[in-house]
Structure 1
Amino acid sequence: MDQILILGFARTGKAVAKLCSRVGVKVYIYEEDNVDIENKETNIKITGLEYKDISFDKIIVSPGFKLDHHIIKYFQSNNIPVISELEFSAYFSKHEIIAVTGTNGKGTTCTLIAKVLENAGFKSIVLGNIGIPFAELVLDIPLDYKVILETSCAQLSLIDKFHPKISVVTNLKPEHLNFYNSFEEYITFKKNISKNQTIEDTIVLNLDDQVSYALFQESNAKKMYFSTTKTIFDGSYIDKENYLVTVKDGNELKICKKKDVQAGLVDNSLAALIVGNIYSINSTILSKTIKDFKGLEHAIELCGRIEKINFYNDSKSTNEHSTIHALNCLEDIILITGGKDDKNCDYFYLSNKIKDKVKFVFIIGETKSKLQDNFYNIKYENFKICNSLADAVQQASDLATNTDNILFSPAANSKDMFVDHKVRGNLFKKLVAEYLEQKGYESM
């Protein structure tokens, strides 16, 4: 019987352990946090240096472990395969895989691709970094299902044979620099999504994102591009009449007007249109799907309206580039931003975008000091520090007039004040609903 060591026993580690038990693999667990190990008769917890005394066939790394961890270094130096859950799960899959990665927009793009396929009669399932690990369901997914995987940098950093039929790269921006040694290391791992693709496969790239465009030019896969600024002859773009257009083998399909697409979803829609076109889905289905799609919860989510004043919940924004994207999607913005200061980010680009685009900003959380210093340096005075999200929502709401858009986009992790971005976003929506009720309006 093969023996594997799982590093980490949160949701990913538990999913791998269950998969191993179903395929007859003996499991050992290394977990540095004080957590209970389920099924102790089959999942054996080891501590200290015990791992050096056991012969393992593979080491499977959960996303929370840094690649310079001493255990990973030990097994790599001894030529024991060290892989991710994504790689291990793929061993047991014969499904057609559509893998999506990028810094921002991965989950939204995965979900929209699934909607496109579903509306055209294809069966699909969305797994991976978006919520349910691939390992949790890989043995139970019927073979006629297309598996859509949101793939993180951590998952892609330790792959060997993982081979998607279609890979999609939304964009690549500096992110997780507290976890990786450099931006160069981060994008090198992202590049692995196309490592095993051949000329029979396709990679979908954002032509407006120069980093990802340059990074994948050596990929063996067929390249299809999307752009909001350039005409594309094999992919998708926005034409002079502001239509979303998708093109394959010279055949052009006009899908819908840009104004019919939910705020913030144009890039995601263009990427999904390419996938739809690869599967020869007709323009009527594509158009209806794109128009009907409202995005993911907590991602530029319209959650309230008083006459012409809109409230948007973008709590899913955990980096400055995501918030910059949200700012580019709206006008007349009153911004609420701020969160945990844990990403070695100076917020220089965001601060200048705020100066150019935002009428007033209310700041919460640990990042308030950096943002405040930046605003002083660039001579931007339309900001205020708030002690709580409730205080910020109240003041932003009282300030708003005419057609203002109140946008909550933190540009940071939530862990300074909240358990996660969902709790943070749900509180914002609750506060908005309470404000609407005070003013005699119904919540959305």
Structure 2
Amino acid sequence: MKQVQQLHHKKVLVIGLAKSGFTAARILHQLGAFVTVNDSKPFEENPEAQELLNLGVTVICGRHPEDLLDEGFELVVKNPGIPYSNILIQAALEKGIPIWTEIELAYLISEAPFIGITGSNGKTTTTTLLFHMLNQDKKKPLIAGNIGTVASGVAEKATPENVIVTELSSFQLKGTESFRPHIAIITNLYEAHIDYHGTLEDYRGSKMKIAQNQTAEDFFIYNADQPLLAAYAAECKAQLVPFTLKGRTDTSISADEEFIYWQGEKLIERSKIMLGGQHNLENILAATAASLLWGGTKETIIRVLTSFTGVKHRSQFVLNWNGRKFYNDSKATNALATKSALEAFPGQVILLAGGLERNHSLEELRPFMDRVKALITFGETADRFAEFAHDCGVEAVAKAGDMQDAVEKAVSHSAVGDTILLSPACASWDQYESFEIRGDAFIDAVQRVTETND
């Protein structure tokens, strides 16, 4: 870990603990910063705060004192999930205090270079796929970021021989200043998280920070099929690596209906790739390009693409029961992700959808609703989904109280050959703490229902 002199004796406020805040506070303390932690959870229920206090960190729990910013802090490090509307964040902005997420800290302390992956959809699949490619090529990759491993904790132990393959959300990127990945990837860019960012422009700007500090020594891999990203790329200083699904090109990476090409040469037949769905082709092209740029071999890439079946909670195959296939796509937290999932299943689909109400449009789903044989709705958006499904001509619509009920209703509407797909198109936080917990609830319910009916 690099000793960052600019943080020595700096007065830093860490807002929000969880995994990222706890790790950031601990590392800042090790670097010689004067750290104060503020978390809403009461101290007696907060083992992270208790551990930090034992280390000598100042801890304020159970409330966010409005006058806390009067104590002369020079830097705020916040948990990515805390909105900028938070009273302390607003106060810090008014005082001109820099606001970081722990991604910035990870970059400053890391002895290893970064590959950064972001996008509205496909981040997790691209990150995981790239990690497998580099790992099988013995490139000593480490995986970090929004995928579930705190980046600063990974960076703390990284060596110059490693490379940190990092999934990055807009929440994380918004709080960066000097972060500069050697390879940056944007898989795609759609409207999302406006409730957090306030405007589409702020969301897009946060995503695009992934490449803002890159130089001519770096690489920017982007979706050239999106005019917005192509226009942004034209302003970047990095070496541009566009990918396209619209046919073979002689430069960079591309795909047509039959093959994937690298610099115009055939790399692999699409029919041999295990990971299905048109949306996953974007992820495959981005990961493949990054692996090749990092020195990965074509042989290893082909081996991974012919064996990698996907990421848990992302179009994850669960089981085949009485001619019905169950898929867990709980990570689909917006309509575009669910549209991509429906596009990947051309047959009859029993769709389970619903969740946190963010007032997002469902219109992206309309062209594929003719594939939905029945819709099972749940959560805050249940009634709105039902109304939308009826408007699209879906006759069978049922409302479920919980995941067990949803799966039981889905099975009752299904027949041999149908796909039963959890792809909520909404965040989980109205009923579940995370999309992972929601997906696990679906898997458990599927196993219970199928075992009971065998």
Q: TM-score, normalised by structure 2?
A: 0.90
- Counterpart in 2 of 1:48? 65
Higher alpha-carbon deviation: 178-187 or 370-379: 370-379
Aligned to 1:304, the other structure's residue is in SS state strand
- Counterpart in 2 of 1:244? 260
- Counterpart in 2 of 1:403? 417
Is the contact between residue 225 and residue 235 of structure 1 (CA under 8 Å) also seen in structure 2? yes
Is the contact between residue 343 and residue 368 of structure 2 (CA under 8 Å) also seen in structure 1? no
Residue correspondence of structure 1 range 33-432 to structure 2 within 5 A: 33-35=41-43, 36=46, 37-38=49-50, 39-41=52-54, 42-46=56-60, 47-240=64-257, 242-247=258-263, 252-258=265-271, 260-264=273-277, 265-306=280-321, 308-350=323-365, 352-432=366-446
Letter in 2 for 1:22: Q
Q: Which consecutive residues of structure 1, in runs of 5 or more, have no partner in the other structure?
A: none
Q: Distance in 1 between matches of 2:90 and 2:450?
A: 55
Is the contact between residue 373 and residue 394 of structure 2 (CA under 8 Å) also seen in structure 1? no
Letter in 1 for 2:424: P
After superposition, the C-alpha distances for 1:212-249 in whole angstroms (9 at most, x for unaligned) are 33333311111112222233333322235x122222xx
Is the contact between residue 145 and residue 167 of structure 2 (CA under 8 Å) also seen in structure 1? yes
Aligned to 1:360, the other structure's residue is in SS state strand
Letter in 2 for 1:245: Y
- Counterpart in 1 of 2:6? none
Is the contact between residue 350 and residue 414 of structure 2 (CA under 8 Å) also seen in structure 1? no
Is the contact between residue 298 and residue 313 of structure 1 (CA under 8 Å) also seen in structure 2? yes
Q: Distance in 2 between matches of 1:201 and 1:170?
A: 17
- How far is 1:205 from its partner? 0.7
Letter in 1 for 2:105: F
* Residue in structure 1 matching 2:448, options 406, 427, 434: 434
Aligned to 1:138, the other structure's residue is in SS state helix
Aligned to 1:112, the other structure's residue is in SS state helix
Aligned to 1:179, the other structure's residue is in SS state helix
Higher alpha-carbon deviation: 365-374 or 72-81: 72-81
Is the contact between residue 303 and residue 429 of structure 1 (CA under 8 Å) also seen in structure 2? yes
Is the contact between residue 183 and residue 220 of structure 2 (CA under 8 Å) also seen in structure 1? yes
Q: Distance in 2 between matches of 1:52 and 1:419?
A: 30
Letter in 1 for 2:427: N
Relative to structure 1, the CA distance from residue 298 to residue 24 in structure 2 (aligned partners, 3 Å threshold; closer, same or farther) is same
Is the contact between residue 201 and residue 222 of structure 1 (CA under 8 Å) also seen in structure 2? yes
- How far is 1:80 from its partner? 2.8
Is the contact between residue 229 and residue 237 of structure 1 (CA under 8 Å) also seen in structure 2? yes
Q: Distance in 2 between matches of 1:395 and 1:66?
A: 37
Is the contact between residue 103 and residue 172 of structure 1 (CA under 8 Å) also seen in structure 2? yes
- Counterpart in 1 of 2:4? none
- How far is 1:77 from its partner? 3.6
- How far is 1:353 from its partner? 3.3
Greater fraction of residues in helix: 2
Q: Distance in 2 between matches of 1:49 and 1:393?
A: 46
Is the contact between residue 350 and residue 418 of structure 2 (CA under 8 Å) also seen in structure 1? no
Q: TM-score, normalised by structure 1?
A: 0.91
Higher alpha-carbon deviation: 71-80 or 263-272: 71-80
After superposition, the C-alpha distances for 1:327-351 in whole angstroms (9 at most, x for unaligned) are 111121323333323322132222x
The percent of aligned pairs where both chains have the same amino acid is 26
Instruction: Give the aligned CA root-mean-square deviation in angstroms.
Output: 2.1
After superposition, the C-alpha distances for 1:357-393 in whole angstroms (9 at most, x for unaligned) are 3222222222111112223444442423233322332
Relative to structure 1, the CA distance from residue 73 to residue 399 in structure 2 (aligned partners, 3 Å threshold; closer, same or farther) is closer
- How far is 1:61 from its partner? 1.8
Q: Distance in 1 between matches of 2:85 and 2:430?
A: 26
Is the contact between residue 258 and residue 266 of structure 1 (CA under 8 Å) also seen in structure 2? no
- Counterpart in 2 of 1:4? 12
Relative to structure 1, the CA distance from residue 388 to residue 67 in structure 2 (aligned partners, 3 Å threshold; closer, same or farther) is closer
Q: Distance in 2 between matches of 1:427 and 1:64?
A: 23
Letter in 2 for 1:149: T
- How far is 1:144 from its partner? 0.5
- How far is 1:33 from its partner? 4.0
- How far is 1:141 from its partner? 1.3
Aligned to 2:157, the other structure's residue is in SS state coil
Is the contact between residue 6 and residue 13 of structure 1 (CA under 8 Å) also seen in structure 2? yes
**Residue 24 in structure 1 maps to residue 32 in structure 2:** yes
Name the count of aligned residue pairs.
435
Letter in 1 for 2:200: F
